[in-house]
Amino acid sequence: MDTAAILQSIPKLRVGVIGDFCLDVYWHADMRLSELSRETPHFPLPIVEERLSPGGAGNVAANLRALRPASVPCVGLVGKDWRGTALLETLEAIGCDTTALLPSYARVTNTYIKPLRKGMTDVVYEDPRLDFTNYTPTSPEDEERLLHALEQLAPELDILCVCDQMPFGCITPPIRQRITVLGKAGLTVVVDSRDHIADYHHVIIKPNAIEACRAVNSPVTTELAPLMQAATSLERLTSRPVIITNGDQGCVVCENSVSTHIPAVKVTGEIDICGAGDTFLSAFACAIGAGASLLEAAQLGCRASAITIRKLKMTGTASPEEILNER
Protein backbone atom coordinates (compact mmCIF):
# COMPACT_ATOMS: atom_id res chain seq x y z
CA MET A 1 0.00 0.00 0.00
CA ASP A 2 1.20 3.52 -0.67
CA THR A 3 1.02 6.22 2.01
CA ALA A 4 -2.15 7.81 0.67
CA ALA A 5 -3.99 4.47 0.62
CA ILE A 6 -2.95 3.73 4.20
CA LEU A 7 -4.10 7.11 5.45
CA GLN A 8 -7.42 6.82 3.60
CA SER A 9 -8.12 3.50 5.35
CA ILE A 10 -7.50 4.76 8.90
CA PRO A 11 -10.90 6.51 9.41
CA LYS A 12 -12.68 3.15 9.60
CA LEU A 13 -10.56 1.91 12.54
CA ARG A 14 -11.32 1.68 16.26
CA VAL A 15 -7.96 1.99 17.97
CA GLY A 16 -7.85 1.56 21.76
CA VAL A 17 -5.16 2.75 24.16
CA ILE A 18 -4.48 1.24 27.57
CA GLY A 19 -1.75 2.45 29.87
CA ASP A 20 -0.28 5.24 31.92
CA PHE A 21 -2.09 8.44 30.99
CA CYS A 22 -0.35 11.65 32.03
CA LEU A 23 -0.93 15.38 31.94
CA ASP A 24 1.76 17.68 30.52
CA VAL A 25 1.69 21.22 31.95
CA TYR A 26 3.77 24.02 30.43
CA TRP A 27 4.21 27.18 32.49
CA HIS A 28 5.73 30.05 30.52
CA ALA A 29 7.47 32.65 32.71
CA ASP A 30 8.57 36.08 31.48
CA MET A 31 11.43 37.03 33.82
CA ARG A 32 11.32 40.66 32.65
CA LEU A 33 8.19 40.97 34.80
CA SER A 34 9.76 39.49 37.93
CA GLU A 35 10.36 41.58 41.05
CA LEU A 36 12.25 40.61 44.18
CA SER A 37 9.84 39.14 46.71
CA ARG A 38 9.27 41.25 49.84
CA GLU A 39 8.95 38.12 51.98
CA THR A 40 11.81 35.96 50.62
CA PRO A 41 15.16 36.57 48.87
CA HIS A 42 13.84 35.15 45.58
CA PHE A 43 12.69 36.40 42.22
CA PRO A 44 9.39 34.58 41.45
CA LEU A 45 8.53 33.18 38.03
CA PRO A 46 5.75 35.36 36.55
CA ILE A 47 3.60 32.91 34.60
CA VAL A 48 2.18 34.59 31.50
CA GLU A 49 0.90 31.47 29.72
CA GLU A 50 -0.21 27.99 30.72
CA ARG A 51 -0.59 25.11 28.26
CA LEU A 52 -2.02 21.70 29.07
CA SER A 53 -1.78 18.62 26.88
CA PRO A 54 -2.11 14.85 27.31
CA GLY A 55 1.17 12.99 27.89
CA GLY A 56 2.28 9.36 28.22
CA ALA A 57 -0.51 7.13 26.93
CA GLY A 58 -2.43 10.38 26.45
CA ASN A 59 0.11 11.51 23.88
CA VAL A 60 -0.35 8.20 22.07
CA ALA A 61 -4.09 8.88 22.07
CA ALA A 62 -3.52 12.44 20.81
CA ASN A 63 -1.35 11.19 17.96
CA LEU A 64 -3.98 8.60 17.09
CA ARG A 65 -6.72 11.24 17.01
CA ALA A 66 -4.56 13.36 14.67
CA LEU A 67 -4.71 10.48 12.17
CA ARG A 68 -8.55 10.48 12.43
CA PRO A 69 -9.58 6.89 13.14
CA ALA A 70 -13.25 6.31 13.85
CA SER A 71 -12.68 6.28 17.61
CA VAL A 72 -9.94 6.20 20.24
CA PRO A 73 -11.26 4.65 23.47
CA CYS A 74 -8.89 5.01 26.43
CA VAL A 75 -8.40 2.64 29.38
CA GLY A 76 -6.47 3.69 32.49
CA LEU A 77 -6.63 5.31 35.91
CA VAL A 78 -6.83 8.99 36.87
CA GLY A 79 -6.66 10.47 40.34
CA LYS A 80 -9.51 12.37 41.93
CA ASP A 81 -7.52 15.61 41.75
CA TRP A 82 -7.47 18.77 39.63
CA ARG A 83 -4.90 17.20 37.34
CA GLY A 84 -7.23 14.30 36.60
CA THR A 85 -10.03 16.70 35.70
CA ALA A 86 -7.69 18.65 33.44
CA LEU A 87 -6.41 15.46 31.77
CA LEU A 88 -9.92 14.26 30.99
CA GLU A 89 -10.78 17.67 29.55
CA THR A 90 -7.73 17.71 27.27
CA LEU A 91 -8.51 14.22 25.96
CA GLU A 92 -12.19 14.91 25.44
CA ALA A 93 -11.35 18.17 23.65
CA ILE A 94 -9.54 16.21 20.92
CA GLY A 95 -12.28 13.60 20.62
CA CYS A 96 -11.01 10.68 22.70
CA ASP A 97 -13.46 8.36 24.43
CA THR A 98 -12.64 8.64 28.15
CA THR A 99 -15.44 6.36 29.42
CA ALA A 100 -12.92 3.75 30.64
CA LEU A 101 -10.49 6.22 32.20
CA LEU A 102 -11.43 5.20 35.71
CA PRO A 103 -11.28 7.58 38.70
CA SER A 104 -9.36 6.35 41.73
CA TYR A 105 -9.01 7.93 45.16
CA ALA A 106 -5.97 5.71 45.72
CA ARG A 107 -3.95 7.21 42.82
CA VAL A 108 -2.61 10.59 41.82
CA THR A 109 -2.85 11.70 38.21
CA ASN A 110 0.56 11.36 36.59
CA THR A 111 1.63 14.91 35.73
CA TYR A 112 4.77 16.54 34.34
CA ILE A 113 4.94 20.28 34.99
CA LYS A 114 7.54 22.03 32.83
CA PRO A 115 8.48 25.61 33.77
CA LEU A 116 9.79 27.52 30.74
CA ARG A 117 11.39 30.90 31.28
CA LYS A 118 12.76 33.63 29.05
CA GLY A 119 14.41 36.96 29.75
CA MET A 120 15.61 39.81 27.54
CA THR A 121 15.75 37.61 24.44
CA ASP A 122 13.37 35.07 22.95
CA VAL A 123 15.60 32.18 24.05
CA VAL A 124 13.53 29.82 26.23
CA TYR A 125 15.13 27.86 29.08
CA GLU A 126 13.47 24.86 30.68
CA ASP A 127 13.71 24.52 34.47
CA PRO A 128 13.77 21.13 36.23
CA ARG A 129 10.46 19.35 35.83
CA LEU A 130 7.93 19.01 38.65
CA ASP A 131 6.54 15.47 38.66
CA PHE A 132 3.42 14.01 40.22
CA THR A 133 3.47 10.22 40.05
CA ASN A 134 2.59 7.13 42.08
CA TYR A 135 5.08 5.34 44.33
CA THR A 136 2.94 2.38 45.40
CA PRO A 137 1.48 -0.49 43.36
CA THR A 138 -1.99 -0.31 41.85
CA SER A 139 -4.51 -1.79 44.29
CA PRO A 140 -6.18 -5.14 43.54
CA GLU A 141 -9.52 -3.32 43.40
CA ASP A 142 -8.35 -0.87 40.73
CA GLU A 143 -6.61 -3.69 38.88
CA GLU A 144 -9.87 -5.65 38.74
CA ARG A 145 -11.72 -2.60 37.45
CA LEU A 146 -9.15 -2.16 34.68
CA LEU A 147 -9.34 -5.82 33.70
CA HIS A 148 -13.10 -5.57 33.44
CA ALA A 149 -12.87 -2.40 31.31
CA LEU A 150 -10.35 -4.07 28.99
CA GLU A 151 -12.55 -7.17 28.64
CA GLN A 152 -15.54 -5.00 27.74
CA LEU A 153 -13.62 -2.97 25.17
CA ALA A 154 -11.44 -5.58 23.42
CA PRO A 155 -14.15 -7.18 21.23
CA GLU A 156 -14.95 -3.78 19.73
CA LEU A 157 -11.37 -2.92 18.71
CA ASP A 158 -9.45 -3.30 15.48
CA ILE A 159 -6.15 -2.68 17.23
CA LEU A 160 -4.91 -2.00 20.78
CA CYS A 161 -1.95 0.19 21.75
CA VAL A 162 -0.31 -0.45 25.13
CA CYS A 163 1.70 2.26 26.89
CA ASP A 164 3.44 0.59 29.87
CA GLN A 165 5.72 3.32 31.22
CA MET A 166 5.53 3.87 34.98
CA PRO A 167 7.30 1.78 37.65
CA PHE A 168 4.02 1.78 39.58
CA GLY A 169 1.67 2.21 36.64
CA CYS A 170 -1.67 0.68 35.83
CA ILE A 171 -0.24 -2.11 33.63
CA THR A 172 0.24 -4.78 36.29
CA PRO A 173 1.36 -8.41 35.76
CA PRO A 174 -2.24 -9.73 35.53
CA ILE A 175 -3.07 -7.03 32.97
CA ARG A 176 0.05 -7.91 30.93
CA GLN A 177 -1.05 -11.53 31.07
CA ARG A 178 -4.53 -10.63 29.84
CA ILE A 179 -3.06 -8.53 27.00
CA THR A 180 -1.03 -11.58 25.98
CA VAL A 181 -4.19 -13.72 25.96
CA LEU A 182 -5.96 -11.15 23.77
CA GLY A 183 -3.01 -11.11 21.36
CA LYS A 184 -2.93 -14.89 21.17
CA ALA A 185 -6.68 -14.92 20.50
CA GLY A 186 -6.22 -12.70 17.45
CA LEU A 187 -6.43 -9.05 18.55
CA THR A 188 -3.66 -6.97 16.97
CA VAL A 189 -1.74 -5.40 19.87
CA VAL A 190 1.26 -3.06 19.70
CA VAL A 191 3.16 -2.60 22.97
CA ASP A 192 5.54 0.12 24.14
CA SER A 193 7.03 -0.74 27.54
CA ARG A 194 9.91 0.93 29.32
CA ASP A 195 10.81 -1.86 31.74
CA HIS A 196 8.74 -4.95 30.84
CA ILE A 197 9.00 -5.43 27.08
CA ALA A 198 10.27 -9.01 27.51
CA ASP A 199 7.17 -9.91 29.55
CA TYR A 200 4.88 -9.64 26.52
CA HIS A 201 4.09 -12.51 24.16
CA HIS A 202 1.87 -12.91 21.09
CA VAL A 203 1.85 -9.13 20.55
CA ILE A 204 3.92 -6.74 18.43
CA ILE A 205 6.49 -5.03 20.64
CA LYS A 206 8.12 -1.66 19.93
CA PRO A 207 11.09 -1.10 22.25
CA ASN A 208 13.73 1.52 21.61
CA ALA A 209 17.38 0.49 21.28
CA ILE A 210 18.09 0.72 25.02
CA GLU A 211 14.99 -1.25 26.00
CA ALA A 212 15.67 -3.92 23.38
CA CYS A 213 19.27 -4.47 24.48
CA ARG A 214 18.24 -4.74 28.12
CA ALA A 215 15.48 -7.19 27.24
CA VAL A 216 17.98 -9.62 25.68
CA ASN A 217 20.68 -8.95 28.31
CA SER A 218 23.16 -7.50 25.82
CA PRO A 219 25.30 -4.34 26.05
CA VAL A 220 23.36 -1.20 25.20
CA THR A 221 24.20 -0.03 21.70
CA THR A 222 22.76 1.86 18.73
CA GLU A 223 24.81 -0.12 16.21
CA LEU A 224 22.77 -1.80 13.53
CA ALA A 225 24.12 -5.36 13.60
CA PRO A 226 23.53 -6.03 17.33
CA LEU A 227 20.07 -4.47 17.14
CA MET A 228 19.13 -6.73 14.24
CA GLN A 229 20.23 -9.71 16.33
CA ALA A 230 18.23 -8.39 19.30
CA ALA A 231 15.14 -8.03 17.09
CA THR A 232 15.45 -11.65 15.96
CA SER A 233 15.82 -12.84 19.57
CA LEU A 234 12.80 -10.84 20.67
CA GLU A 235 10.68 -12.16 17.79
CA ARG A 236 11.42 -15.71 18.95
CA LEU A 237 10.31 -14.68 22.43
CA THR A 238 7.07 -12.96 21.41
CA SER A 239 6.07 -15.05 18.38
CA ARG A 240 5.11 -11.77 16.70
CA PRO A 241 6.95 -9.11 14.66
CA VAL A 242 9.31 -6.75 16.48
CA ILE A 243 10.18 -3.10 15.83
CA ILE A 244 13.17 -1.46 17.50
CA THR A 245 13.25 2.33 17.15
CA ASN A 246 16.70 3.91 17.04
CA GLY A 247 16.45 7.69 16.92
CA ASP A 248 17.99 9.37 13.89
CA GLN A 249 18.98 5.96 12.53
CA GLY A 250 15.37 4.95 11.97
CA CYS A 251 14.26 1.53 13.12
CA VAL A 252 14.84 -2.20 12.76
CA VAL A 253 11.90 -4.46 11.97
CA CYS A 254 11.90 -8.24 12.27
CA GLU A 255 9.35 -10.61 10.77
CA ASN A 256 9.73 -14.34 10.13
CA SER A 257 13.31 -14.22 11.48
CA VAL A 258 14.34 -11.60 8.90
CA SER A 259 15.53 -8.25 10.27
CA THR A 260 15.39 -5.15 8.06
CA HIS A 261 16.69 -1.62 8.64
CA ILE A 262 14.31 1.26 7.85
CA PRO A 263 16.26 4.56 7.64
CA ALA A 264 14.93 7.65 9.38
CA VAL A 265 13.71 10.65 7.42
CA LYS A 266 16.54 13.18 7.32
CA VAL A 267 15.77 16.23 9.44
CA THR A 268 17.84 19.41 9.72
CA GLY A 269 17.70 22.24 12.23
CA GLU A 270 16.67 22.22 15.86
CA ILE A 271 14.61 19.26 17.03
CA ASP A 272 12.84 18.05 20.17
CA ILE A 273 12.60 14.25 20.38
CA CYS A 274 10.17 14.24 23.32
CA GLY A 275 7.16 12.16 22.30
CA ALA A 276 8.68 10.86 19.05
CA GLY A 277 8.20 7.26 20.17
CA ASP A 278 4.52 7.91 20.86
CA THR A 279 4.10 9.33 17.36
CA PHE A 280 5.82 6.30 15.83
CA LEU A 281 3.67 3.89 17.86
CA SER A 282 0.45 5.62 16.83
CA ALA A 283 1.24 5.88 13.13
CA PHE A 284 2.62 2.34 12.99
CA ALA A 285 -0.42 0.87 14.77
CA CYS A 286 -2.88 2.69 12.52
CA ALA A 287 -0.99 1.56 9.42
CA ILE A 288 -1.02 -2.08 10.56
CA GLY A 289 -4.72 -1.80 11.30
CA ALA A 290 -5.29 -0.34 7.84
CA GLY A 291 -3.69 -3.38 6.20
CA ALA A 292 -0.16 -2.11 5.56
CA SER A 293 2.79 -4.47 5.67
CA LEU A 294 5.24 -4.31 8.57
CA LEU A 295 7.77 -2.40 6.47
CA GLU A 296 5.16 0.03 5.14
CA ALA A 297 3.89 0.68 8.66
CA ALA A 298 7.41 1.28 9.97
CA GLN A 299 8.11 3.73 7.14
CA LEU A 300 4.93 5.62 7.99
CA GLY A 301 6.01 5.73 11.64
CA CYS A 302 9.35 7.24 10.64
CA ARG A 303 7.66 9.87 8.47
CA ALA A 304 5.26 10.86 11.23
CA SER A 305 8.07 11.09 13.83
CA ALA A 306 10.09 13.34 11.53
CA ILE A 307 7.22 15.82 11.66
CA THR A 308 6.71 15.91 15.42
CA ILE A 309 10.40 16.25 16.36
CA ARG A 310 10.42 19.58 14.54
CA LYS A 311 7.62 20.88 16.77
CA LEU A 312 9.59 22.43 19.62
CA LYS A 313 8.62 22.84 23.30
CA MET A 314 5.54 20.69 22.85
CA THR A 315 4.48 17.07 22.39
CA GLY A 316 3.28 17.45 18.83
CA THR A 317 1.20 15.29 16.51
CA ALA A 318 1.31 14.55 12.79
CA SER A 319 -1.78 14.91 10.61
CA PRO A 320 -2.44 12.94 7.40
CA GLU A 321 -1.82 16.10 5.37
CA GLU A 322 1.55 16.69 7.05
CA ILE A 323 2.57 13.07 6.51
CA LEU A 324 1.64 13.22 2.81
CA ASN A 325 3.71 16.39 2.39
CA GLU A 326 6.73 14.95 4.23
CA ARG A 327 9.68 14.34 1.91
| 177 phi/psi in degrees, rounded to 5 | -60, -40
Establish if 274 belongs to a structural domain.
yes
* pLDDT one-digit tens code per residue, 242-289: 999 998 899 999 999 999 999 988 887 777 777 788 999 999 999 999
pLDDT in the model for residue 327: 63
In a domain, residue 29? The reply is: no
Residues 6 or more apart in contact with residue 31 via CB below 8 angstroms: 43, 45, 46, 117, 118, 119
* pLDDT tens digits along 207-248: 999 999 999 999 999 999 999 999 999 999 999 999 999 988
Q: Give a yes or no: residue 288 inside a domain.
A: yes
The residue segments making up the domain with residue 184 are 3-22+55-109+134-325
Q: What is the pLDDT of residues 163-203, one digit of tens each?
A: 999 999 999 999 999 999 999 999 999 999 999 999 999 99
The structural domain count of the chain equals 1
* Within-domain flag for 48: no
Q: Is 42 contained in some domain?
A: no
Cα 132 to chain centroid, rounded = 18
Is this structure's pTM higher than 0.75? Answer: yes
- The helix/strand/coil state of 287 is helix
**Within-domain flag for 314:** yes
In a domain, 60, yes or no: yes
The CA-atom distances, in angstroms, between 261 and each of 55, 222, 225, 264, 269 are: 29, 12, 10, 9, 24
| Tens of pLDDT, residues 96-139 | 999 999 999 999 999 999 999 999 998 999 999 999 999 999 99
Instruction: Look at residue 62 and tell me if it is in a domain.
Output: yes
The 10s digit of each residue's pLDDT in 32-51 is 999 999 999 999 999 999 99
Burial class (CB in 10 A: 0-12, 13-18, 19+), 167: exposed
CATH number at residue 265: 3.40.1190.20
